[in-house]
């Protein structure tokens, strides 16, 4: 009997040792996968990052580490969203939120709601996005999660900035920056500074915009956030373009392009090439602009980035319209519209309908032109972009004269 008891104790000890070794080994593997995913994210390689986060989430689930699983699921959702795989992102955010609700974990529930808010925002579901961000904010405030509060305010601010609600955007972005200053989240502060820079540029506060972009670039350099550094350089170049400083703009765009190429970030390359094309158009270098838009299109197509594909085709349409080739322009606008519709990008579709209305007006097809203008007006109205609604009406009257509204 004693021998059996000893054997049982030894067996139990061995089983516990094996379990402990397995758990330690699994957690180590999860940590390695997460570090690899973060490195891919820093370079803008979101598909690779998603694969690593997915593997880490599966391991965390297998060993019953639900907190780690929720963390990985949210980051997996962010990576899928950045890789333009939004349905996959939605699935991961909803899974994370369900686990968080079951565990009454308000932090990770809030993180998931921010991710779902980002999805709704991108698809033009403004009220739903705002509700998701506000729900997340209330949860974070209730648990005194300062970084979470900052993330929610940043989401709200970026949403309002995108749809030209400038006063509301400024309040939320300022709140986010103040809260980030109390945390260790440098990355969150960097991304919010870039959003604030865009707001300042839009409202004509160019010195303030430059300060925001420059601080974002410096913080990114200090913390080796390569993607955010490249983005800050890109937006600084865009600011130089707005200020009509073509040499500085070309230098900045070229620098950003080189940084994206060094990271292997094809979407970043596409963004830089497209913005160089926009600058070429402003300088009336139309043939060069076509070359850059085509290079941007190639980069976007390699990653199936539908929003980029739509934007590059829209640029090609605008240039061909400038040359008087309005039928060719219309063909590009149709391709752009198809891409934006597949991506559920309502604002992109509204922009293209406005451009296509102008193309039809030049071709003398008043009926088709008016239809495009009205489609554009309706889409901007859905987004609450009243200034753009007024701009479309003005353009319609200028091109076609007063008519049935």
Give the separation between CA 236 and CA 161, rounded to whole angstroms.
18
DSSP H helices, 181-205, are 186-202
First to last CA, the chain: 96
Q: 161 in a domain, yes or no? A: no
* DSSP code per residue over 297-347: HHHHHHTT-HHHHHHHHHHHHHHHHHTT-HHHHHHHHHHHHHHHHHTT-HH
Check residue 30 and give its pLDDT. 82
Check residue 9 and give its pLDDT. 57
Cβ atoms of 239 and 251 within 8 Å: the answer is: no
Check residue 385 and give its pLDDT. 85
Check residue 68 and give its pLDDT. 87
- Report in angstroms the alpha-carbon separations of 1 from 6, 8, 11, 12: 9, 11, 15, 16
Q: How many CB atoms lie within 10 A of CB 291?
A: 15
Domain count of the fold of the chain: 1
State pTM to two decimals.
Answer: 0.80
Q: 116 in a domain, yes or no? A: no
Check residue 161 and give its pLDDT. 86
**335-342, long-range: CB < 8 A, 24+ apart:** 335/309, 335/310, 336/309, 336/310, 336/311, 337/310, 338/310, 339/306, 339/307, 339/309, 339/310, 339/313, 340/306, 340/307, 340/310, 342/306
pLDDT in tens, 225-235: 898 999 999 99
The residue segments making up the domain with residue 317 are 305-405
Give the separation between CA 310 and CA 346, rounded to whole angstroms.
12
Q: 339 in a domain, yes or no? A: yes
Check residue 402 and give its pLDDT. 52
* DSSP code per residue over 103-169: HT-HHHHHHHHHHHHHHHHHTT-HHHHHHHHHHHHHHHHHTT-HHHHHHHHHHHHHHHHHTT-HHHH
Q: 368 in a domain, yes or no? A: yes
In 3D, which of 54, 59, 72 has the Cα closest to residue 112?
Answer: 72
In 3D, which of 369, 372, 349 has the Cα closest to residue 361?
Answer: 369
Question: Which parts of the chain sit beneath pLDDT 50?
Answer: 16, 18-19, 21-22, 403-405
* DSSP code per residue over 201-228: HHTT-HHHHHHHHHHHHHHHHHHT-HHH
Q: 383 in a domain, yes or no? A: yes
Q: 364 in a domain, yes or no? A: yes
pLDDT in tens, 239-286: 999 999 999 999 999 999 999 999 888 889 999 999 999 999 999 999
> Which CATH number covers residue 328?
1.25.40.10
Q: 399 in a domain, yes or no? A: yes
Instruction: Give the number of C-alpha atoms closer than 13 A to the C-alpha of residue 339, restricted to the C-beta side.
Output: 24
Q: 205 in a domain, yes or no? A: no
Check residue 405 and give its pLDDT. 42
Cβ atoms of 105 and 70 within 8 Å: the answer is: yes
Query: What b/e string do you get for 294-312 counting C-beta neighbours within 10 Å, with b at 16 or more?
Result: ebbbebbbebebbbbbbbb
């Amino acid at each position: 009997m004693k021998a059996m008891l000893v054997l049982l104790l030894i067996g139990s000890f061995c089983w516990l040792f094996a379990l402990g070794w397995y758990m330690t080994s699994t957690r180590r593997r999860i940590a390695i996968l997460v570090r690899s995913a973060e490195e891919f994210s820093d370079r803008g390689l979101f598909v690779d990052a998603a694969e690593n986060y997915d593997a880490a989430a599966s391991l965390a689930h297998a060993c019953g580490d639900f907190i780690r699983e929720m963390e990985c699921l949210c980051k997996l959702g962010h990576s899928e969203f950045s890789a333009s795989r939004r349905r996959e992102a939605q699935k991961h955010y909803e899974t994370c939120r369900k686990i968080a609700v079951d565990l009454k974990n308000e932090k990770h529930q809030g993180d998931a709601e921010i991710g779902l808010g980002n999805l709704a925002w991108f698809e033009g579901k403004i009220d739903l996005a705002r509700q998701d961000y506000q729900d997340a904010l209330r949860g974070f405030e209730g648990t005194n999660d300062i970084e979470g509060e900052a993330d929610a305010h940043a989401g709200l601010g970026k949403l309002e900035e995108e749809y030209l609600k400038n006063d509301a955007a400024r309040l939320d972005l300022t709140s986010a920056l103040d809260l980030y200053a109390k945390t260790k989240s440098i990355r969150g502060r960097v991304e919010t500074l870039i959003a604030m820079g865009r707001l300042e540029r839009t409202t004509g506060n160019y010195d303030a915009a430059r300060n925001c972009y420059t601080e974002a670039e410096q913080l990114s350099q200090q913390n080796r956030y390569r993607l955010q550094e490249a983005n800050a350089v890109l937006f600084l170049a865009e600011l130089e373009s707005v200020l009509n400083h073509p040499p500085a703009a070309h230098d900045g765009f070229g620098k950003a392009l080189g940084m994206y190429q060094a990271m292997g970030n094809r979407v970043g390359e596409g963004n830089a090439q497209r913005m160089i094309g926009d600058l070429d158009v402003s300088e009336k270098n139309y043939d060069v602009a076509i070359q850059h838009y085509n290079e941007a299109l190639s980069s976007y197509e390699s990653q199936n980035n539908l929003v980029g594909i739509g934007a590059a085709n829209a640029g090609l349409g605008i240039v061909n319209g400038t040359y008087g080739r309005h039928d060719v322009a219309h063909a590009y606008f149709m391709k752009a519209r198809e891409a934006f519709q597949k991506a559920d990008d309502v604002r992109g579709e509204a922009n293209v309908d406005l451009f296509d209305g102008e193309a039809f007006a030049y071709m003398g097809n008043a009926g088709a032109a008016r239809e495009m203008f009205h489609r554009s007006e309706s889409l901007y109205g859905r987004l609450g972009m009243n200034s753009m609604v007024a701009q479309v009406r003005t353009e319609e009257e200028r091109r076609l004269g007063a008519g049935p509204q």
